């Protein structure tokens, strides 16, 4: 059945993104260029308009080795040139990780932000980025410096929106406070590790985002495949055994039984559960094949009622919000 993609605003911004975003960390790593291009073709045909990458994607990510970095961006750039699809997508990339071995080839200094942005533009073969995300917090660089660099890129037309990734709740609050003092919009989105298994962001990050009008972009929504029917697949011998399967067997059995009861695939339910949260702008999926991407698309048509969500929460309990989670 063909799924109709839905769209929502990126946080409080006027920008609309597909509720399922295409993550490209596997491009050039576990997916070769031909497969990566097939995934992007499938995404466009499915109505996905949000493509997420990073300057560091495509190689083995270690602090002291940059070999292979930039490959994901280069693959996307060649695809964009060949297909002419640039104006149909919201293109997002990231800055922070080491790209070379020099002391200034990493972090969020104004020096590195400028050089990293220009390098990403060259690899992506475009003149602007729709969303430029800080891949991690850099507490050694003052926010005055970071925002000055981002403001300059906006003025030059090289970026349109700024996002963060892997920030703590108090980092987000500090970032927005500094941006407001400069009369700058600041963060439009935060990309965090969030799924039914990993719910730590519910304690402080999500409340901060909700208060400040910043959209959440959960990555790893299927917990590296654990929530995509891993138990059933292992029983049938139709896939590799997930390393956490045994320790989560009881939860997985209850979860996959629930999914069968409501007539939806485990992957669809896991993503639909994320999309039900009004703070979530889009869930970032990272398929290794076009087929994996197609399996995730059904999530946009899965509606979970309150009773089902309560059952899911009993199987995969969250930490609650601070401070009530640990105080009164």
CA pair distance 228, 220, nearest whole angstrom: 11
CA pair distance 59, 70, nearest whole angstrom: 8
Say if CB 192 and CB 217 are below 8 A apart.
Answer: yes
Strands 50-52 and 90-95: parallel
Say if CB 188 and CB 164 are below 8 A apart.
Answer: no
DSSP letters spanning 218-240: EE-TTTTTTTTTHHHHHHHT-SP
Structure tokens at 128: 């602007």
57 catalytic per annotation: yes
Strand-pair partners of 191 = 165, 217
CA pair distance 241, 312, nearest whole angstrom: 23
Spot the catalytic one: 57, 132, 219, 255: 57
CA 266 to chain centre: 19
Active site residue ranges: 57
């Amino acid at each position: 059945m063909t799924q109709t993609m839905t769209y929502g605003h990126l946080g409080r911004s006027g920008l609309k993104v597909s509720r399922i975003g295409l993550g490209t960390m596997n491009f050039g790593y576990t997916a070769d260029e031909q497969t990566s291009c097939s995934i992007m073709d499938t995404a466009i045909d499915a109505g996905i308009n949000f493509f997420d990458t990073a300057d560091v994607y495509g190689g083995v990510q270690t602090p002291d080795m940059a070999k292979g970095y930039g490959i994901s961006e280069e693959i996307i750039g060649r695809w964009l040139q060949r297909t002419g699809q640039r104006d149909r997508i919201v293109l997002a990339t990231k800055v922070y990780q080491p790209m070379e071995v020099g002391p200034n080839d990493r972090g969020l200094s104004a020096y590195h932000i400028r050089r990293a942005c220009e390098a990403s533009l060259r690899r992506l073969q475009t003149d602007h980025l729709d969303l430029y995300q800080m891949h991690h917090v850099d507490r050694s660089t003052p926010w005055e410096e970071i925002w000055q660099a981002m403001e300059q890129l906006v003025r030059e037309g090289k970026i349109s929106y700024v996002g963060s990734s892997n920030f703590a709740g108090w980092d987000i609050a500090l970032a927005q406070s500094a941006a407001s003092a400069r009369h700058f919009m600041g963060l439009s989105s935060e990309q965090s590790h969030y799924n039914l298994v990993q719910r730590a962001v519910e304690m402080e990050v999500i409340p901060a985002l909700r208060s400040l009008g910043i959209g959440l972009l959960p990555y790893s929504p299927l917990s590296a495949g654990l929530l995509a029917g891993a138990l059933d697949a292992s029983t049938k011998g139709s896939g590799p055994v997930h390393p956490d399967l045994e320790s989560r067997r009881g939860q997985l059995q209850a979860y996959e039984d629930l999914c069968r009861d409501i007539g939806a695939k485990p992957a669809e339910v896991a993503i639909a559960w994320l999309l039900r949260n009004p703070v979530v702008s889009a869930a970032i999926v990272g398929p290794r094949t076009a087929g994996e991407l197609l399996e995730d698309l059904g999530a946009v048509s899965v509606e979970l009622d309150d009773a089902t969500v309560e059952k899911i929460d009993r199987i995969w309990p969250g930490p609650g919000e601070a401070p009530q989670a640990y105080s009164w």
